[in-house]
Amino acid sequence: MITVTAENWQQDANCADVPPDLMQPEVASDEDVRLAKSTCTGCPVMAQCLELAKSQTDPYGVHAGRWFGHKPAPVVCCTWCGDLLTTATRSTRSYCNDTCRKRASRAAARTAA
Ligand code: SF4
Ligand SMILES: [Zn+2]
């Protein structure tokens, strides 16, 4: 009998020796997803795999026989003008450019005065 521990469970996986892009295909066609899901059939560590996938922020790919697509990015808008922020600006600031940042800062200064 195989003993599955927290340390070694991934080496017992059905997908342990398949190329990583089989389980996380870059562009996933229905056929890609079907093939990846079939790898999970009878996998002895499916429960651990599902728990790990659920704990990840963006568990893209097939895990535990299920397809996890990318989670949609949250919609974030410029605090000043309301324009939608791009992925590049979203993580570092909440204004779309320095003009909006300065306008917001001046408005805050006027409010405080
Ligand atoms: S259940 Fe998880 S660990 Fe097992 S083959 Fe599927 S993706 Fe790999
Ligand atoms: Zn703006």
> Other C-beta atoms within 10 Å of 40: how many?
20
The pLDDT, as a whole number, for residue 19 is 92
Q: Which residue from 1, 50, 61, 59 is spatially nearest to 28, judged by alpha carbons?
A: 61
- Residue 50 pLDDT exceeds 90: yes
pLDDT tens for 52-91 read: 999 998 899 999 999 998 766 677 888 899 888 876 555 5
Structure-model confidence comparison of residues 74 and 105, the more confident one: 105
pLDDT tens for 23-48 read: 998 888 899 999 999 999 999 999 99
Ion ligand 2 nearby residues (CB, 5 A): 78, 80-81, 83, 96, 100
Q: Whose CA is nearest to atom 3 of ligand 1?
A: 13
CA 76 to ligand 1 centroid distance, Å: 34
- Residue 18 pLDDT exceeds 70: yes
